[in-house]
Amino acid sequence: MQAVDIDRRRLGVNFTGEGLATVRLWAPKLEEVHIRFNNQTMPLLPEAHGYWTLTTPNLQPGDDYEFITPNGKAIPDPASLCQPYGVHGASRALDLAAFAWTDHKWVNPSQDDYIFYEIHVGTFSPQGNFQGVIEKLPHLKALGITAIELMPVAQFPGTRNWGYDGVFPYAVHTTYGGARGLQELVNRCHTLGIAVVLDVVYNHLGPEGNYFKEFGPYFTSKYKTPWGEAINFDDAHCDDVRRFFIENVLMWFRDFHIDALRLDAVHAIKDFSPVHILKAIRQEVDAFIQNHWCMHYLFVELDLNDPRYIDLVKRGGYGMDAQWADEFHHALRVTTGQERSGYYADFQGVGHLAKAYRDAYVYDGQYSEHRLKCFGIPATQQAGNKFIVFSQNHDQVGNRMHGERTSALVSFRLLKVMAGATILSPYLPLLFMGEEYGEKNPFQYFVHHGDPQLIRHVRRGRREEFAAFHTRGEAPDPQSESTFINSKLQWDRLQEDEHQALFHYYQALIELRKKHPAFHHLDRFALEVFCEKEANVLVLHRWHHSDHAWCAMNFSKSAQPVALVEDQPLLNVLDSGDAHWKGDEPSPSILHAGSFILPPESLVVYTGKYD
């Protein structure tokens, strides 16, 4: 593979600043190719390895264009920055360098300080676009969020989608506000001290509007994935496919000032190259960081308990900065008494939650009944900031048949316990939009495809997916606009007493995490966990030097005795049973003995200082 230019985008249409447009297309399948714009058609010139190029003063920012194949077919640019007419229409040329950034003093926070807030742009605000997110940034700042995480924004079919059906990895969806809207959002976030994480999909491309095969071998039949043929990262012609996605990574950091990427389902990436594509991405990003004196992170969704993905490159790893830790969520959910169907059947409640606190991975070599094999290896060398944990996220909510949020599944008391269990963990916490005030609307799976056969396939697929989890009822129609509308946040809920109390409780939890040394420092080894399986009680003891904190959690419906094994007075610094948070059974404000009675479905944090 030819060296990637980390300082400029080379694929697609770009502008030199001297009134010239450069066009560069990888299309080794084509014997000739033309570009059509402004009622004129011009041939592209062939280069080595299947590239076609053109330099012209006639193509300007804002002009629409498309490529013409030898059979006369008009196809949009696979590296398009804008698809104003949808996934089947012409592309539009943009000059990304034209945006007037004002974030020159911005410094990306330390990874340890990331507190994520996951957002689906279309359902987060009434407007359903980047401007709607901008208007809610003061709310997120007041909550204490340090990083928003946007679900994928790459151009997808129609006007509503989770984003994982994107077919133009470089084009920001026009319904959301396009490239300029995303740049404005990032700029505003940086003004308020909030980082921006973007969810990107490099394991597959959506089915509708996917024209990649017209140009070249972007896919390989060597492997099968849930979405069909795998993206070609290690077969013939893979060098230029790898380049396509590496340039995409660099574009987000360079041209959009994105602070971190969340790479979707990297376990589904098939690559047996000597240098795995993730490692190659890591190396190019490291070069970009060194060249630009700015920090950027790479986070991954990973359904493998394999620390190779997050280990350092010098130790043989792929160098990803952190991974989503689904098993923490699964253990926490089962501990609260929710059903143990599907993959939740592998989890045994508070004992597994205690293991998630100690070891990050619940399964690190044990036999999994769900997977029917031994699964995972220990992550003993990985720091706490290598794992991102949550009590809910878009997958765990939206992949339920009816998309019920946790607020519809457990009591108000348990919502507070689950929030504390996540935010006060030795890992990086992620909140799903609306959870901070107990949003009641579901988050359901929705699409807006134009192909009737594909719509039928999606509907059937959703029914089959739920077979292991649900036995009654019908899934909402993914294609129906009402499914999308029903998934929008109800911001007026914040005016109601209980929801407002929950929001203030989340504020207090986040403030405690930031301010108390025992919670702020993510030392997985300055930690003890005690649990009583029969009582469904867990005590998390964390410390930093002489600062100690005990977080006692009662997941049961009855009061339980708890022993903290300390004989000096401890101060109650946060109590879910306090009246401030609509609680009615507070724990002692000062603990003079080492034991006390913890009220049902409650969490309390005691702190002390000793050598």
Is 245 flagged in the annotation as binding? no
Is 327 flagged in the annotation as binding? yes
Residue 301 bears catalytic tag: yes
Is 265 flagged in the annotation as binding? yes
Degrees to nearest 5, angle at CA 513 with 142 and 432:
60
Is 520 flagged in the annotation as binding? no
Is 31 flagged in the annotation as binding? no
- Rounded to 5 degrees, what are φ and ψ at 470? -130, 145
Closest to 233 (Cα-Cα) out of 247, 252, 218: 218
Is 58 flagged in the annotation as binding? no
Burial 296-314 (b: 16+ CB within 10 A, else e): bbbbbbbeebbbebbbeee
Closest to 154 (Cα-Cα) out of 176, 132, 124, 133: 176
Is 399 flagged in the annotation as binding? yes
Long-range pairs for 576-581 at CB < 8 Å and ≥24 separation? 576/413, 576/416, 576/417, 576/420, 576/505, 576/602, 576/603, 576/604, 577/602, 577/604, 580/501, 580/504, 580/505, 581/416, 581/501, 581/502, 581/504, 581/505, 581/508
Q: Output the six-digit token pair for 508.
A: 């207090």
- Listed in sequence order, the residues at least 6 apart from 367 whose beta carbon sits closer than 8 Å to its beta carbon are 373, 374, 375
Give the residue carrying structure tokens 């420092």. 521
Residue 31 bears catalytic tag: no
Strands 260-263 and 373-374: unpaired
> How far is the C-alpha of 137 from the C-alpha of 150, rounded, in Å?
13
Task: For residue 35, give the 3-state DSSP assignment.
Answer: strand
Task: For residue 266, give the 3-state DSSP assignment.
Answer: helix
Is 394 flagged in the annotation as binding? yes
> How far is the C-alpha of 377 from the C-alpha of 566, rounded, in Å?
35
Of 149, 264, 436, 601, the active-site residue reads 264
Closest to 311 (Cα-Cα) out of 378, 381, 375, 389: 381
> How far is the C-alpha of 553 from the C-alpha of 576, rounded, in Å?
10
> How far is the C-alpha of 577 from the C-alpha of 605, rounded, in Å?
11
Three-state SS annotation for 76-115: CCCCCCCCCCCCCCCEECCCHHHCCCCCCCCCCCCHHHCC
> How far is the C-alpha of 133 from the C-alpha of 462, rounded, in Å?
29
Q: At what angle do helices 130-143 and 497-515 cross, to 10 degrees?
A: 70
> How far is the C-alpha of 70 from the C-alpha of 121, rounded, in Å?
39
Q: Output the six-digit token pair for 213.
A: 């095969």
Q: Output the six-digit token pair for 21.
A: 């447009």
A 10 A CB-CB count for 53 gives 13
Q: Which DSSP letter does residue 24 get? A: E
Is 2 flagged in the annotation as binding? no
Closest to 404 (Cα-Cα) out of 457, 475, 342: 475
Region of 434 please: left (phi>0), alpha (psi -120 to 50) or beta: left
CA 327 to chain centre: 16
Is 396 flagged in the annotation as binding? yes
> How far is the C-alpha of 309 from the C-alpha of 279, rounded, in Å?
9
Q: Which DSSP letter does residue 601 get? A: T
Is 264 flagged in the annotation as binding? yes
Of 208, 301, 311, 578, the active-site residue reads 301
Is 98 flagged in the annotation as binding? no
Is 448 flagged in the annotation as binding? no
Binding residues for substrate: 262-267, 326-330, 394-399
Binding residues: 262-267, 326-330, 394-399
Catalytic residues: 264, 301
